């Protein structure tokens, strides 16, 4: 199905199933521990051996000598895999560094060996017997120090509109501020894990991967085997947040281990290995300049960002939202990329916007204060309904102002005292902050197969993944709505490369595109059903498990009485995303209390008002938003991968050192979805929501801390040591 | 102490063996950072490393009401005994370091991180895992409340959250105080602050905390109602 004109009325608009708050259909499995994750597949292949990965102890240099003799003869050991016996390996398109290092080492904890043994305990013990001598080389590990040598990244030119420098210089009110965001870890609960089994030259990987088709291609390129010999299976994924977009060393080493050992091998990354062995969200330095008239109209807006990555890597696109979010005739954005020898930087939930808005939305707060304006009024005054870089190119929907207004109303913004540090409740300094949320809606093709059987059961198959996003349920809702059956007449099978290629899970594009692909396949199945039942005239009506046309009503199942009916189709897009800017919007509101003696920061209330097209399942969509708000609170208040700038690695590489929010940190969270449908987005009229929730929330927290204390922290995370020395006198 | 008969070891020998394997578990020999400013040999090669065969031992315990006897490497954590030997994979390995709570199970009525305890330490013990609470066809009230309130997303921390949540309500009922309990003499109540504090060893990176609390609040309320009506809470 080609989607190249805005959607007209269609079966999804019935909203009998879609749009209803629906319990997850995978809920009973997940809550009873019976949903199978990658490392747990005792059921799929016999005789599994255990693999344990050894990571490099240096960040950059070479292995000069590796002694695996003791490991090879240790009890239970079946095989040891290193670069010496791994054969010639390629590198996947989505990997920056090699997944198996040696002799060259590209980053700390890069895998250098896998020990395969009968048990986990034996493999772990034997890995400790491997002796590696390194020749370390000096590397670059400090973004601030490398900043001046940073260059324009390939394919990421500066964007300029009008005369930024002239307009900024002439502006009566100016802000020029620099912000930093640290490296952050995905820290998903399920470690990267894979079971690999070879059958001749065919390889099956039960793995935790968000993007099945990317994974097949990258395994093919890395192992130099044809794609058709590779099967990836990933029905349940214990969180990803971008950290499982790509094939990682667990999958490669399991495949290599299984080959050398001659039997299936399972490998999970240990928690301490995850932070340096895999990808992370890169740190940024961001300079923002805003010039405005005294009335608060932005005349110049500039955003520059510096980040680092391994050679061949990419910048953190932290200026992205600044190209689109506010009006202003003179504009500049620029990204500079430094070569750093830290582990590989890559996408983490809302790459670009998440750290970008942490800076921009504090700058907007600072500018509003300079102007003596309410920060909401300042944003509303500079709202735009068209792409500010391409006047005349409209937004498909843009309800940012409505998000902010409703949020202010619900949150009691009017009660906020704009003068910082003026509200006290006993020992607590109390403040409110807000920020705009913004994240683009990306459209990309997605396919599915649907089957109707003689019992009237509809089975959907697509290689789409559910990483906690609620995909199983919204796909079932889509199929139920389109085929006119109740939810329990739909079965959904995901995450298998034998199924049609979907959009996968990333960039908050999963929900809209994958359901649109299922819708396309279901519409094709409806045609087959109609033909089979001899309904040739008007478009038949599918409802309540029946099909009716011209006064005839027959059970849907009857169409499959002679055998299953199968249809496969995909959604593909025309140029509506070129003609229209498609984005999602939010207003984030936060109240904090800061201990006037200790500087301890507590979140008291959080609210997000979101405009993100049709909400397919308000229950799971709300969970996506509160989860993202939680991660945003972590980014604001605690998350920071501490860089050892001499040795080049993230020091706090476990869940005790890398702090993420826990129950006690998070208050009740409120989420409101504006009533919106976006017919320009897809036949579902939906947009993504999984990343919108993290976009802006960090700045809202920082702004609330400022309002509470009068302390403006521009270097995240906003920890108590940064506010303690500047707190108002205790009274 | 019962002699398991599979290894002719004295009580003292057993203890030493357990201590040595615990130490091995706690301090892996690899992955240490090396200075970048010089050629770095790995710690001076100490000559041949003594190769020790794994110390095996037998442990008998009850898991979800069923008696189990396992013959295992003494280094096996309770978590791996459940997941790898008994194939009860509902209990999750999130960090293997006691930092995330995904492996929480209830042992002899108290919740513990099963990754931080060796299986052989639980001779005669009684273990309840998430599989022992309910099944997809017959959910425990806490499991049902998690589904109703969407108290999970990816599902990986969920079994640990649910085991913790069940045990937390029992702890409060038993009058066990927490860090936020204002009075050590009054019975603690299932308030938001109490539940959040007690649940804080169970990390949910998907960020379902607000919903988990609502699920627990519902079950806690139901428990209170049942107690008042003289019914035995589930």
* Residue A495 confidence (pLDDT): 98
- Report d(CA B119, CA B74) in Å as an integer: 7
In this prediction, the residues of chain A whose per-residue pLDDT falls under 70 are 537, 731
Evaluate whether residue B126 is within a structural domain: yes
Chain B residues with CB under 8 Å of A661 CB are 207, 209
Same domain for B102 and B155, yes or no, is no
Structural Rg of chain A based on CA atoms: 27
Evaluate whether residue B2 is within a structural domain: no
Evaluate whether residue B146 is within a structural domain: yes
Q: Which of A24, A130, A654 sits opposite B97 (nearest CB)?
A: A654
Q: Would you call A109 and B213 a contact, using CB atoms and an 8 Å cutoff?
A: no
Same domain for B67 and B109, yes or no, is yes
Q: Which of A125, A189, A628 sits opposite B100 (nearest CB)?
A: A189
* Residue B21 confidence (pLDDT): 42
Q: What is the pLDDT of residues A212-240, one digit of tens each?
A: 999 999 999 999 999 999 999 999 999 99
Among A48-62, A388-402, B34-48, B109-123, the range scoring the smallest mean pLDDT is B34-48
Same domain for B142 and B224, yes or no, is yes
Interface confidence, given as ipTM, is 0.97
Q: If you average pLDDT over every residue of chain B, what do you get?
A: 83
Evaluate whether residue B13 is within a structural domain: no
Q: How far is A662 from chain B (nearest CA, A)?
A: 5
Q: Which of A58, A667, A669 sits opposite B40 (nearest CB)?
A: A58
Q: Which domains does chain A have, with CATH numbers?
A: 2-35+443-576 (3.30.365.10), 38-137+193-277 (3.30.365.10), 374-441+582-724 (3.30.365.10)
Q: Which of A33, A130, A623 sits opposite B130 (nearest CB)?
A: A33
Same domain for B151 and B224, yes or no, is yes
Q: How far is A441 from chain B (nearest CA, A)?
A: 21
Q: How far is B121 from chain A (nearest CA, A)?
A: 17
Chain B interface test: which of A26, A105, A189 (most B C-beta within 10 Å) = A189
Kind and range of the H or E element at A357? Answer: helix A353-371
Same domain for B138 and B224, yes or no, is yes
Evaluate whether residue B233 is within a structural domain: no
- pLDDT at B41 > cutoff 70: no
**Axis-axis angle for helices B209-228, B141-148 (nearest 10):** 140
Q: What is the pLDDT of residues A509-539, one digit of tens each?
A: 999 999 999 999 999 999 999 999 999 767 8
Which residues are bridge partners to A608 per DSSP?
A: A588, A671
Neighbours of B52 (CB within 10 A): 11
- pLDDT at B230 > cutoff 90: no
- pLDDT at B107 > cutoff 90: yes
Helix H segments across A534-593?
576-579
* Residue A291 confidence (pLDDT): 98
Same domain for B207 and B196, yes or no, is yes
Chain B residues with CB under 8 Å of A55 CB are 30-31
B131, B148, B166 — which closes off a domain? Answer: B131
Q: How confident is the model at residue B47 (pLDDT cuts 50, 70, 90)?
A: low
Q: Which domain holds residue B88?
A: 56-131
**More confident call, A373 vs B227:** A373
Number of domains forming the structure of chain B: 2
Neighbours of A151 (CB within 10 A): 10
Same domain for B127 and B139, yes or no, is no
Evaluate whether residue B148 is within a structural domain: yes
* Closest C-alpha among A432, A544, A447, A549 to residue A498: A447
Q: Would you call A57 and B24 a contact, using CB atoms and an 8 Å cutoff?
A: no
B84, B108, B131 — which closes off a domain? Answer: B131
Q: Would you call B205 and A28 a contact, using CB atoms and an 8 Å cutoff?
A: no
B73 touches chain A (CB under 8 A): yes
Q: How far is B109 from chain A (nearest CA, A)?
A: 19
Q: Would you call B206 and A273 a contact, using CB atoms and an 8 Å cutoff?
A: no
Same domain for B116 and B177, yes or no, is no
Catalytic site residues of A? Answer: 691
Chain A interface test: which of B150, B161, B181 (most A C-beta within 10 Å) = B150
Q: Which of A37, A40, A75 sits opposite B54 (nearest CB)?
A: A75
* Closest C-alpha among A118, A683, A668 to residue B192: A668
Q: Would you call B91 and A236 a contact, using CB atoms and an 8 Å cutoff?
A: no
Q: What is the mean pLDDT of residues B216-229?
A: 81
Q: Would you call B97 and A73 a contact, using CB atoms and an 8 Å cutoff?
A: no
Are A86 and A51 in contact, with CB atoms under 8 Å apart?
no
B136 touches chain A (CB under 8 A): yes
Evaluate whether residue B120 is within a structural domain: yes
B136 to chain A: nearest residue by CA? A28
Same domain for B142 and B197, yes or no, is yes
- pLDDT at B10 > cutoff 60: no
Q: Which of B48, B76, B136 sits opposite A28 (nearest CB)?
A: B136
- Report d(CA A472, CA A35) in Å as an integer: 12
B209 touches chain A (CB under 8 A): yes
Q: What is the pLDDT of residues B154-183, one digit of tens each?
A: 999 999 999 999 999 999 999 999 999 999
Chain B interface test: which of A27, A30, A31 (most B C-beta within 10 Å) = A31
Q: How confident is the model at residue B229 (pLDDT cuts 50, 70, 90)?
A: low
**More confident call, B42 vs A253:** A253
**More confident call, B4 vs A581:** A581
Same domain for B139 and B222, yes or no, is yes
Neighbours of A221 (CB within 10 A): 18
Which CATH number do you get for residue B94? 3.10.20.30
Evaluate whether residue B150 is within a structural domain: yes
* Residue B49 confidence (pLDDT): 55
Same domain for B121 and B161, yes or no, is no
Encode A365-393: b = buried (16+ Cβ within 10 Å), e = exposed: bbbbbebebbbbebbbbbbbebbbeeeee
Tokens of A101: 């290092």
Q: Would you call B31 and A273 a contact, using CB atoms and an 8 Å cutoff?
A: yes
A240 to chain B: nearest residue by CA? B154
Q: What is the mean pLDDT of residues B122-136?
A: 98
* Residue B28 confidence (pLDDT): 44
B90, B112, B131 — which closes off a domain? Answer: B131
- Report d(CA A12, CA A518) in Å as an integer: 12
- Report d(CA A378, CA A382) in Å as an integer: 6
Percentage of chain A beyond pLDDT 90 is 98
- pLDDT at B42 > cutoff 70: no
A40 to chain B: nearest residue by CA? B89
Which CATH number do you get for residue B167? 1.10.150.120
* Residue B3 confidence (pLDDT): 39
- pLDDT at B9 > cutoff 70: no
* Residue A198 confidence (pLDDT): 98
Q: What is the pLDDT of residues A346-387, one digit of tens each?
A: 999 999 999 999 999 999 999 999 999 999 999 999 999 999
* Residue B8 confidence (pLDDT): 41
Chain B residues with CB under 8 Å of A33 CB are 88-92, 129-131, 158-159
Same domain for B122 and B154, yes or no, is no
Are A28 and A309 in contact, with CB atoms under 8 Å apart?
no
- pLDDT at B34 > cutoff 70: no
Chain A residues with CB under 8 Å of B144 CB are 31
Q: Give the list of residues 6+ apart from residue A22 with CB closer than 8 angstroms, or none.
A: A473, A477, A487, A617, A619, A620
Chain A residues with CB under 8 Å of B53 CB are 75
């Amino acid at each position: 199905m080609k989607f190249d004109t805005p959607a007209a009325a269609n079966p999804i608009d019935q909203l009998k199933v879609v749009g209803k708050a629906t319990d997850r259909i995978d809920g009973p499995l997940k809550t009873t521990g019976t949903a199978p994750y990658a490392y747990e597949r005792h059921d799929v292949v016999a005789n599994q051996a255990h693999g344990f990965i050894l990571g490099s102890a240096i960040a950059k240099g070479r292995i000069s000598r590796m002694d695996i003799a003791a490991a090879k003869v240790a009890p239970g050991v079946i095989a040891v895999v290193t670069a010496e016996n791994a054969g010639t390996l390629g590198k996947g398109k989505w990997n920056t560094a090699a997944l198996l290092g040696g002799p060259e080492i590209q980053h700390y904890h890069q895998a250098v060996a896998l020990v395969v043994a009968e048990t986990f305990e034996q493999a772990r013990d034997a890995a400790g017997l491997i002796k590696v001598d390194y020749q370390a080389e000096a590397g670059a590990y400090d973004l601030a120090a490398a900043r001046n040598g940073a260059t324009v990244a390939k394919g990421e030119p500066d964007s300029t509109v009008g005369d930024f420098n002239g307009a900024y210089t002439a502006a009566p009110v100016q802000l020029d501020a620099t912000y930093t965001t640290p490296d952050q870890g995905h820290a998903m609960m399920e470690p990267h894990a894979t079971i690999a089994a070879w059958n001749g030259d065919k390889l099956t990987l039960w793995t935790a991967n968000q993007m099945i088709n990317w994974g097949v291609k990258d395994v093919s390129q890395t192992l130099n085997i044809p794609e058709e010999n590779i099967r990836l299976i990933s029905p349940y994924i214990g969180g990803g947040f971008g950290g499982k977009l790509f094939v990682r060393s667990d999958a490669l080493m399991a495949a290599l281990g299984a080959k050398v050992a001659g039997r299936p091998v399972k490998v999970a990354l240990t928690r301490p290995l995850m932070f340096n062995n895999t990808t992370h969200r890169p740190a940024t330095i961001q300079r923002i300049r805003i010039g405005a008239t005294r009335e608060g109209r932005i005349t110049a807006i500039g955003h520059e960002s510096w980040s680092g990555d391994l050679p061949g890597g990419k910048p953190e696109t932290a200026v992205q939202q600044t190209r689109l979010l506010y009006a202003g005739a003179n504009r500049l954005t620029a990204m500079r990329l430094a070569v750093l020898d830290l582990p590989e930087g890559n996408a983490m939930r809302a790459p670009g916007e998440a750290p970008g808005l942490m800076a921009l939305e504090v700058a907007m707060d600072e500018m509003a204060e300079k102007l003596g304006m309410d920060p909401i009024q300042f944003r509303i005054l500079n709202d735009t309904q068209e792409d500010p870089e391409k006047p005349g190119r409209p937004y498909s929907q843009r309800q940012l102002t409505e998000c902010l207004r409703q949020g202010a109303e619900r949150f009691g913004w009017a009660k906020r005292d704009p003068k910082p540090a003026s509200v006290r409740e006993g020992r607590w300094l109390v403040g409110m902050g807000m920020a705009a949320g913004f994240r683009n809606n990306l459209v990309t093709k997605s396919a599915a197969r649907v089957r109707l059987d003689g019992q009237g059961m509809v089975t959907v198959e697509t290689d789409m993944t559910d990483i906690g996003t609620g995909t199983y349920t919204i796909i079932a809702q889509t199929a139920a709505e389109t085929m006119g059956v109740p939810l329990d007449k739909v079965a959904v099978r995901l995450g298998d490369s034998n199924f049609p290629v979907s959009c996968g899970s990333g960039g908050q594009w999963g929900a809209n595109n994958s359901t649109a692909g299922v819708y396309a396949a279901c519409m094709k199945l409806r045609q087959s059903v109609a033909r089979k039942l001899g309904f040739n005239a008007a478009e038949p009506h599918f409802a309540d498990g029946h099909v009716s046309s011209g006064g005839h009503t027959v059970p849907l199942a009857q169409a499959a009485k002679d055998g299953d009916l199968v249809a496969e189709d995909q959604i593909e897009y025309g140029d509506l995303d070129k003609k229209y800017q498609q984005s999602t919007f939010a207003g984030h509101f936060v109240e904090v209390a800061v201990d006037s003696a200790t500087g301890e920061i507590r979140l008291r209330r959080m609210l997000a008002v979101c405009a993100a097209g049709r909400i397919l399942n308000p229950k799971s969509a709300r969970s996506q938003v509160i989860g993202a708000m939680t991660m945003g609170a972590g980014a604001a208040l605690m998350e920071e991968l501490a860089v050892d700038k001499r040795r080049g690695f993230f020091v706090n590489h476990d869940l005790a050192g890398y702090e993420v929010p826990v129950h006690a940190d998070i208050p009740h969270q409120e989420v409101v979805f504006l009533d919106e449908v976006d017919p320009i987005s897809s036949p579902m009229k939906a947009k993504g929501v999984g990343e919108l929730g993290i976009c802006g929330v960090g700045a809202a927290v920082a702004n609330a801390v400022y309002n509470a204390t009068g302390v403006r922290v521009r270097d995240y995370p906003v920890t108590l040591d940064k506010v303690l020395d500047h707190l108002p006198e205790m009274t | 102490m019962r002699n398991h008969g599979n290894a002719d070891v004295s009580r003292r020998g057993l203890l030493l063996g357990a201590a040595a394997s615990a130490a091995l578990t706690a301090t892996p020999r690899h992955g240490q950072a090396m200075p970048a400013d010089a050629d770095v040999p790995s710690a001076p090669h100490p000559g041949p490393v003594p190769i020790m065969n794994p110390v095996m031992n037998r442990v008998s315990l009850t898991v979800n009401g069923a008696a189990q006897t396992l013959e295992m490497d003494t280094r096996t954590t309770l978590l791996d005994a459940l997941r790898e030997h008994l194939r009860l994979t509902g209990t999750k390995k999130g960090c293997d370091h006691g930092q995330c709570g995904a492996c929480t199970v209830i042992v002899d009525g108290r919740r513990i991180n099963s990754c931080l305890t060796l299986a052989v330490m639980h001779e005669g013990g009684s273990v309840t895992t998430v599989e022992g609470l309910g099944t997809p066809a017959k959910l425990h009230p806490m499991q049902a409340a998690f589904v109703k309130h969407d108290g999970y997303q990816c599902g990986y921390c969920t079994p640990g959250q649910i085991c913790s949540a069940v045990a937390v309500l029992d702890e409060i009922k038993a009058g066990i105080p927490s860090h936020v309990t204002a009075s050590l003499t009054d019975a603690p109540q299932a308030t938001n602050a109490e539940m959040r504090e007690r649940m804080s060893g169970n990390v949910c990176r998907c960020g379902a905390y607000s919903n988990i609390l609502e699920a627990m609040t519902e079950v806690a309320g139901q428990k209170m109602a049942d107690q008042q009506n003289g019914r035995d809470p589930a």
